Amino acid sequence: MKIKKFKNLLYFIIFLFVATFTVWYATNSLLLSLAFDILILIGMIRIKKLNTKKNKLIHNIDAAYNFVNLMNIQMLSTTSVYEAYKSIENYIDADFANIDSDDIHEQLNEVANNYNLNSFKMYVHTLQIYENEGGNFKKMQEIPTSLCQKCKIYYHKLEKNKFSKLIEISTLFILWILIIYILRISIPDYYEKMMENVLTQIGMFAIIATGGFLYYQAVKEYLINEIRGL
């Protein structure tokens, strides 16, 4: 865990250094490159928050999927929801720990509300209806279970697809930065002269900052996943 954190910090420092150097090289201004660093730090804090949220969603989906599958197997041999829960308690996520028999449905509803997954809420409601009204559980759970399974499959598929698209977009952004470098190298005299003017410095900074902001938006788009209905 510590090594991973250290690795992430190292990547961040390298990224910050490259970004600072790029802005300084493109604008000839250390002040503007420091201003860009501040923008990067703000963006990184937001991205870290979104990443935590995304990881939590994936954890919730996996935990709900695991619970539903194990519960379905146990419900084949018993009609009591609490009994089924008790026999799978050790194999499910810690979020489901210490549930009492008296208010099992309330506590499951609470977990479902925290998870905020429609499919899982539907499954918990089905358990509640089954305990209160009875019926054929095998048939009752068909749709909620299929939704929970789809939830896992589709979210992982969406994340994978979005990640490959983000890599492609990142490559294009790197090419754009390379174009700035190439221009700076190929016409050094003109470029130097151009950056002597404060207005052109700010203009170039504005273009790079816009690019940075739009890249941040692309990363945000990758991190925010919401399939309504699941």
Partner 1 sequence: MFDKYKEMCKKLKINFKKDFSLTLSIFLIMIIASITLFFFYSYITLCLGIMCSFLYLFTHFENLKASLKQLTNAKEIAFNGFYRYVVTLLTNGNVLYSALQMSTEYVDNVLVDDVNELIADIENDTSIEPFFKFMSNFNDESIKQMILLLYKTQEVGIINDVLDSINESMINLQDNSISNYISKEEKNIERFYMVPILLSALVMVFISLYIFSLIGEGIYV
Q: Contact positions toward partner 1, by CB under 8 A?
A: 118, 122, 125-126, 128-129, 133-136, 139-140, 142-144, 146-147, 150, 154, 157-158, 161-162, 165-166, 168-169, 172-173, 175-176, 179-180, 183, 187, 190-191, 193-194, 200, 203-204, 207, 210-211, 214-215, 217-218, 221-222, 225-230
Inter-residue contact 217 to 151 (CB < 8 Å): no
CA–CA dist 112, 5 (Å, integer): 31
Nearest approach, Cβ of 49 to partner 1 (angstroms)? 19
Nearest approach, Cβ of 229 to partner 1 (angstroms)? 4
Nearest approach, Cβ of 3 to partner 1 (angstroms)? 31
Inter-residue contact 170 to 178 (CB < 8 Å): no
Nearest approach, Cβ of 203 to partner 1 (angstroms)? 6
Nearer to partner 1, 114 or 210 (CB): 210
Q: How far is CA 78 from the centre of its chain?
A: 38
How many other CB atoms sit within 10 Å of the CB of residue 208?
A: 22
Nearer to partner 1, 63 or 140 (CB): 140
Nearer to partner 1, 13 or 182 (CB): 182
Residues ≥6 apart with Cβ < 8 Å to 83: 74
Concatenating the DSSP letter of every residue in 70-95 gives HHHHHTTT-S-HHHHHHHHGGGS-GG
